[in-house]
Structure 1
Amino acid sequence: MSKRRAIAFVLPQFHPIPENDQWWGKGFTEWTNVTKARPLFEGHYQPQLPADLGFYDLRLPEAREAQASLAKEHNIFGFCYYHYWFNGKRLLHKPLDDMLHLGTPNMPFMYCWANENWTRRWDGQENDILIEQTYSKEDDKEHIIWLCEQVFNDKRYITVNGAPVFMIYRHNLFPDIRETIALWRTIAVEEYGFPDLYLCMTESFNTQDDPTAFGFDASVEFSAHAILGHECTPKRKRLFLKRPKNNLVFKDFKKGVKVSISRAQPEYKFFRSVTPAWDNTARKGVNGVVALGSSPELYKKWLKEAVSKSTVYSADENFIFINAMNEWAEGNHLEPCIKYGLSYLEATKNILDNYK
C-alpha cells in the first residue's frame, strides 16, 4: 500500500486579540462560544467540551506542543493553518508567528489563506463587514513577498518537489486569479529561488472547478461543505426551544459521506478530505446548522474509503486532508471531547497505519 500524508486543518482562534475584544467583548475567544452552547433538541450533543487538551490558549508554546504531539501520536503528518490577511493586516497570527520564531513544535505545516470578508456572521458573507477583503496587484506582491520571507523558508514547511504548498480558500473572489498566481510564481522563483509554488484551491461551497483552468496545481475537497449540501428532516427530534423562533437547519451527514465516497477521481489532481462532524450552534445558536448521523465509526469508514480511492500522484503528492483538528465552535474536531474522547483520533491512526 502507498503511504498517505494526513493534513489536519487548524484554527488559530483560541486566544484573545484586540479586534475581538472590541467586536465581541473583552477576552473573547472561540471557547467563549463553545462554553455557552446548550442542547436545542432531544439528544443534541451540546456543549461539546474539550477533554485531554483542556481549554488551551494557543499563545502558549506548551499548548501548541501538546496539540501537535497528540496529532503525531495518531498518524497526522502535518497541520494546515488558516491564515488571515487583509491588505497587509493580519489577524489571529500570534500563535503562528511564535511557532515560526521558536521553531517548535516540530510539526510539518502549510498555510491556507481564508480570503473572505471578516463579518459578524463568521461566514464571509456581505452582512455587517468588520474587515473587508480587497485585492490589488500591489497587495498580491506584498503578500507573496511576506510569505516567501517569513513562512515558506521554514524547514518544516510542506513542499512538493521543493515547492511550498499554499492553499486558497475561495479562488472565485479574486478579480483575476490567474494574474495573481502568475505574479506569485514569478516572484517566488526569480526573487527567492524556490523551484516553484504548489498551489491548491479548496472546493469551498461545493465548487468543483478544474484547478488548472485558473493556474492552480490541484484542488482539495472541502468535506465540511460536502456534508452541508444534503438537507434532511429529523426523526423524533423534539425541539426544546419555543421562543425565540427556532430556525435550525438539519443536514444529512450519512448522505454527504455516501456522495463523497461515490465520487470518481477527476482527471485533474484532486486531494480527498474527511470531516469528523458538524454542528455550529455553539456559534449561531437557534440559527445554526446541525449535521445528523455523524459518529466515530462513520468517520472511520469515510477515511478508509477516502484513502483507498485517492490517487498518489508522486512521492510528495499523497495528501489526505482532515477538516478539522479544532473547529470546536462548529462541532468539527478531532481533538478529544468529553463524549467521544480519543475515538476520532484513534480511528484516524487505525486507518492510516495500514497505508504506511
Structure 2
Amino acid sequence: MSHLKPIAIYLPQYHTIPENDEWWQKGFTEWTNVKKSKSYFAGHYQPHVPVNKDYYDLSDNSVLEKQAELAKSYGIEGFCFYHYWFSGHLLLEKPLHNMLAAGKPDMPFCLCWANENWTRTWDGQDKQVLIEQHYSIEDDKKHIDYLMPFFKDERYIKIDNKPVFLMYRTELHPDIKAATKLWRDEAKKAGFDDLYLIRVENHLKNIDPAEHGFDAAMEFAPDSGFKGKKVQKNNYPKYLLHKLMHKTGIKKSVHHENGIYSYASMVNSLINKAERPYKYFRCAFPSWDNSARRKIHATIYLGSEPKLFEKWIRHLAKHTREKFPEQEQLLFINAWNEWGEGCHLEPDEEWGTQYLEALKKGIEE
C-alpha cells in the first residue's frame, strides 16, 4: 500500500471581495486576468480556458466539493490552501470558512500563510503596497488562535498528531523563532503533540529550516535557481540581433521583455538538483506562464506536456518514498488552480484531464 501523499497547492481567489473591488475593479477575481490573456508568438499557449468555460465562483462551496471529488479520483490526497492574514485582517477567507462550517468536502487540507505584502504586481507596480504585513508576538498569538479551529478539524492534515502548517516567507518575520515557539506551545495546550512547520523555500534558499524554528522546507517549483535554457538563445545570432533591436527601441521583443525557458531542460535540471542537508519536500508543476498576470517580466515555460510532467512526478515519487518515513511522504504539486500563472492541474480545453492522468500514472508504484 502506498503512503505517498500528493498535495496540490490551492489558490482561493475566485470570488469577489471588497478589497479587490477597490484595488482593481468592481467584480475582480483571478478570472479577470485569465480572460484577458493573449498569445504573444507562435507556439505560445494563451489564453488558458477551463473546460466548458467554467469560470466558477468559490463563494459556492459545492464548487470545492466537485473539485475535491475530481482531485481524489486522480490520486491527490489533499489541498494546501493559501491563507492571507494581515494583523487580523483576512483576505479571500470565504471558501475556507464555508468549508469549515459545512464539513464538506471530505478532503484533507492544510494551510500556507502567504505572508508577503499585497502589491500591484498584476499591473507592473510591484513596489506599490496595497496592504502591508506587520509582525508582533501579540499578533502571532491572535493568529494561532484564529487557526486553531482549522487545526482541530478532523480533515486537517497532521503528522503524528501535529497539524501541518506552511509559511511562504519565514525570513520576513523579524522574530520568527519566538513566533514558532509560541505557536508550538499553544498547539500543545490545545491537545496536539506539537505543530509540523514547513517553510516554503522560494526567495531565501539553502537555509536549514531549524534556524527559523521549522521542521522542514518545501521546494517551490519553479525554482528560480534552476530555470533551464532560454529558448531563443538556441539561435544565438538571431537572439543577439533581437536584443540589440529591443534595447535601441527599434523593435520591442517579447523574448527580451520576458523570461522564456524550456520546460524540458528545467525538469532535467531539477531532477538532478543536489540534495539538501535537511528535510526537504519536493514539488513539481505541470506548466507555467504568468503572462496573464504580468504585462512585462513574465516567466514562460515552453514545451510542457503531460509525458514530461509524468516523468518528473515519477522521479519525485520514488525519491519521496525512499527519503521519508511513511507518515511524512508528502509530495507537493504547484498547483491545483493557479490559472493566472498558467499552472493548474484543473482540466482546460487544450489538455483536458491529461495532466491529472499523468499525475496518477507518475505516483503509481
TM-score by length of 2: 0.90
What corresponds to 1:182 in structure 2?
181
Q: Which amino acid aligns with 2:348?
A: C
Give 1:198 shift.
0.4
CA distance in 2, matches of 1:178, 1:123: 35
Give 1:249 shift.
1.9
CA distance in 2, matches of 1:76, 1:279: 23
- Written as runs of structure 1 = structure 2, the 5 A alignment for 1:1-356 is 2-51=2-51, 54-121=54-121, 127-148=127-148, 150-190=149-189, 192-205=190-203, 207-226=205-224, 229-230=227-228, 232-234=230-232, 246=254, 247-310=257-320, 311-354=322-365
Please say if residues 44 and 302 of structure 2, whose CA atoms lie closer than 8 Å, have aligned partners that are also in contact. no
CA distance in 2, matches of 1:284, 1:266: 32
TM-score by length of 1: 0.92
Q: Alignment partner of 1:213: what SS?
A: helix
More off after superposition, 264-273 vs 8-17: 264-273
Extract unaligned runs of 5+ from structure 2: none
Give 1:293 shift.
2.5
Extract unaligned runs of 5+ from structure 1: none
Equivalent residues, number: 351
Give 1:228 shift.
6.5
Give 1:126 shift.
6.0
Q: Which amino acid aligns with 2:173?
A: F
CA distance in 1, matches of 2:60, 2:226: 34
RMSD (CA atoms): 2.4
Give 1:186 shift.
1.0
**What is the identity percentage for the equivalent residue pairs of Structure 1 and Structure 2?**
46
Structure with greater helix share of residues: 2
The alpha-carbon distance between structure 1 residues 265 and 299, as it changes in their structure 2 partners (threshold 3 A), is same
